[in-house]
Amino acid sequence: MEIDDPRPLPEPALLQAPLDGAAKRAGLFLQPDLPLTDPSVLSAPTMLRVERLNLFYGDKQALSDINLHVARNSVTSFIGPSGCGKSTLLRCLNRMNDLIDDVRIEGRVLLGDTDIYAPGTDVIALRKRAGMVFQKSNPFPKSIFENVAYGLRIQGQRDRLVLEEAVERSLKGAGLWEEVKDRLKDSAQGLSGGQQQRLCIARALAVRPEIILMDEPCSALDPIATARVEELILELKREFTIVIVTHNMQQARRVSDMTACLMLDDNAKEGQRTGVIAEFSATDRLFTNPKDPRTEAYITGRIA
């Protein structure tokens, strides 16, 4: 699949409501009445395509007939009730499920023109192209500098100047440089929870991925740290493509251009919890005019 160079993207298209005093002090934006999907995303080239994906744990099917596409320089959210397969689907996008015993996958996942499940695929190279940020921040018991430089060192980079430039660039990209530039030799585990999560984002950025996968990156953060990560996501999409799993529907509305709502399949075999995509569309359309009654039931709180 050929991917053309994307045209420049406009500023992130979110309606900004006036801030009250508390919101200003916390650095939070009030929820706009309507989110706006960046119009350029609707015509942007496809970076990632999932075609008829099925995933099985042994004889139990966890995902069924998943089809979706992710545009370059966009943010795509996966929402849905617990246990419907959102994180499982996210892990399919860089083959993290390979680490689980007895997993079988059918269908195709195309990253650019590469079928990532084709025989002979270099999984290490794939995970460089599709970096992962996990739900719980997981800094290594190393210095801040060495946490960010870790991926480059694994790739064999030993030039100190190259490492220093990459660490500075990545920390700036994660909005963390000004906070830690004078303490790069300190332990990363001394950072706050929000700083640790941004450090993990910087670690992913250091190897220059094409896609950043985020599995509920704000679930353990307070509102101020959450707002900073959300602001960062909107900044990063200018250079990267982002896919995020979130249980926070307001977060999906704030940051994503496209949203996929996953549900459990009513037609699955008895005793199986099989996830399907109930609806996949532009975020503003999905939240204001859902086409599938299951989506409407979920976003209105009738399905938990």
pLDDT digits (tens, 9 = 90+) for 105-146: 999 999 999 999 999 999 989 999 999 999 888 899 999 999
β-bridge pairing 103-111 and 46-57: antiparallel
Tell me, what's the pLDDT at 304? Answer: 63
Predicted structure pTM score: 0.84
Whole-number Å distance between alpha carbons of 151 and 155: 6
Instruction: Give the total number of structural domains in the chain.
Output: 1
Is the pLDDT reported for residue 6 higher than 70? no
Is 43 a member of any domain? yes
Q: How far apart are CA 3 and CA 186, in angstroms?
A: 42
19-to-23, 24, 30, 252, 256 alpha-carbon distances in Å: 6, 6, 6, 20, 21
The tens digit of pLDDT for each residue in 141-198 reads 999 999 999 999 988 999 999 999 999 999 999 999 999 999 999 999 999 999 999 9
Tokens of 290: 């859902």
CA dist., res. 21 & res. 104, Å (int): 52
What is the rounded distance in angstroms from the CA atom of residue 173 to the CA atom of residue 200?
12
Confidence of residue 20 (pLDDT cuts 50, 70, 90): very low
How do strand 103-111 and strand 75-79 relate by DSSP bridges? unpaired
Give the type of residue at 52: R
Q: Taking a C-beta distance cutoff of 8 angstroms, is the pair 193, 137 a contact?
A: yes
Q: Distance between CA atoms of 255 and 76, rounded to whole angstroms?
A: 9
- Residue whose C-alpha is closest to residue 37's, from 207, 205, 219, 280: 280
Q: Are 127 and 176 in contact (CB under 8 A)?
A: no
- For the ranges 11-15, 132-136, 213-217, which has the lowest average pLDDT? 11-15
**Domain annotation covers residue 65:** yes
Q: Integer distance in angstroms from the first to the last C-alpha of the chain?
A: 38
Whether residue 75 is contained in a domain is answered as yes
Are the C-beta atoms of residues 260 and 277 closer than 8 Å to each other?
Answer: yes
- Judge whether 85 lies within some domain: yes
8: exposed, middle or buried (Cβ count in 10 Å: 0-12, 13-18, 19+): exposed
* Percentage with pLDDT > 70 across the chain: 88
Mean pLDDT of 82-86: 94
| pLDDT value for 33 | 42
* Alpha carbons 156 and 55: distance in angstroms, whole number: 34
Q: What's the pLDDT at 44?
A: 79
**pLDDT value at position 11?**
36
- Helices 193-205 and 144-154 pack at an angle, to 10 degrees, of 30
pLDDT confidence tier of residue 239, bands split at 50, 70 and 90: very high
Q: Of how many residues is the chain composed?
A: 304
Domain extent, residue 240, equals: 39-135+210-299
Tell whether 150 is covered by a domain.
no
Q: pLDDT value at position 32?
A: 41
| pLDDT above 90 as % of the chain | 74
pLDDT of res. 30: 40
Task: Count the helix, strand and coil residues of the chain and give each as a percent rounded to the nearest 5.
Answer: 35, 25, 40
Residue 64 in any domain: the answer is: yes
Give tens-digit pLDDT for 30-81.
444 444 577 777 777 899 999 999 999 998 999 999 999 999 999 999 999 9
Q: Is the pLDDT of residue 24 over 60?
A: no
Q: Which of 21-30, 253-262, 268-277 has the least mean pLDDT?
A: 21-30
- Give residue 302's pLDDT: 79
Question: Which of 11-25, 40-54, 238-252, 279-293 has the weakest average pLDDT?
Answer: 11-25
Does 176 fall in a domain? Answer: no
pLDDT at residue 215, rounded to an integer: 95
- Residue 191, in any domain of the structure: no
Neighbours of 285 (CB within 10 A): 15
The residue behind tokens 């370059």 is 72
Q: List phi, psi (to 5°) of 285.
A: -70, -40
Instruction: Specify whether the CB–CB gap between 128 and 212 falls below 8 A.
Output: no
Which pLDDT score is estimated for 36? Answer: 59
CATH number where 78 lies: 3.40.50.300
